[in-house]
Amino acid sequence: MTGPKLNEMSFVVGERSGTKATAKYVRSSASKARAVLDLIRGLDVKTADEVLQFTDRHIARDVRKVLASAVANAVNNDDQDADELYVVACFADEGPTLRRFRPRARGRATRINKRSCHITVIVARMSDERIAIITARQERAGGSAGRGRPQSSAASRRARVERSREQAAETEQAIDAADDSDVTTEVSDTTATETTDEEVVTTDEAPEADEVAEADATTDVGAEGSASDEAQSDEENQRADEKDNK
């Protein structure tokens, strides 16, 4: 083919844009493969592998193998770092079609096209700016300091468990502090209530003491009055006796 290979992101004749790997005669139609290839075009290698791992398409397994082969070629043949690669181009070309026939009604036959395709994945090194952005993003997400790689699943799980335990401890401390404040408030309210009751009892006892004192004073006055009456009667008796004697 003459001219630059635009589907390989090569805009100059004879220029190679990256390291590629090709799987030929894959027993699937090119349209099915293109639907999966559109998901990983332009992604870094690690993200593309994760996307293919969880893609619910049968052809995704073949595409993932081709991607792994392209990364291996770049690492072994071109001395590239796997963490700095991304999918610069990927495409699927139509392969030969196997024609088969199925018998139908009334002596007829229907043709079955068993299609195939050629899958190509090209990887290249990312720009320094993009590598710096991805490294910073991975470090913020909790990756190691040296390579900027993300934590393993076990490490991230331990970190989540520790954060959950810290949040639970903080919640318990807040609940305990709230309970202590409620108990203190109840004790102060109880003390104030008891003080009020004592004042009420004291005020209730004071009128009773006054009544007793008034009753005692009334009794004393009555006793004095009876004593004076008795003295007067004694004097009258003495006067009467003196008159009789005369």
CATH number, residue 84:
3.90.470.10
181: CB partners within 8 A, 6+ apart: none
User: What pLDDT sits at residue 23?
Assistant: 96
pLDDT of residue 137: 84
Assess if residue 210 is contained within a domain: no
Q: How many domains does the chain have?
A: 1
pLDDT for the residue numbered 146: 46
CA distance 17 to 5: 9
Is 82 among the domain residues? yes
Distance between CA atoms of residues 135 and 133, nearest Å: 5
Residue holding tokens 């036959």?
109
Q: Is residue 232 part of a domain?
A: no
Residue 1 lies in a domain: no
Amino acid at 199: E
Of 162, 120, 135, 38, nearest to 81 (Cα)?
Answer: 135
Is 80 part of a structural domain of the chain? Answer: yes
List CB contacts of 182: < 8 A, sequence separation 6 or more.
none
Residue 71 within any structural domain of the chain: yes
Per-residue pLDDT of the chain (246 residues; tens, 9 = 90+): 455 566 666 666 666 778 999 999 999 999 999 999 999 999 999 999 999 999 999 999 999 999 999 999 999 999 899 989 999 999 999 999 999 999 999 999 999 999 999 999 999 999 889 888 888 887 887 654 444 444 556 777 888 888 899 989 999 888 888 888 777 777 666 666 666 666 655 555 555 555 656 666 566 655 555 666 666 777 777 777 777 665
pTM of the model: 0.55
Helix, strand or coil, per DSSP, at residue 214: helix
Range of the domain at 83: 6-148
pLDDT the model gives residue 25: 96
What is the pLDDT at residue 222? 58
Residue 209 lies in a domain: no
Pure H helices in the chain: 30-40, 45-53, 59-77, 128-140, 153-245
pLDDT of residue 181: 79
Q: Is residue 64 part of a domain?
A: yes
- 17 contacts: CB under 8 Å, gap ≥ 6: 8, 9, 10, 88, 89, 122, 124
**Closest of 134, 139, 142 to residue 159, by C-alpha:** 142
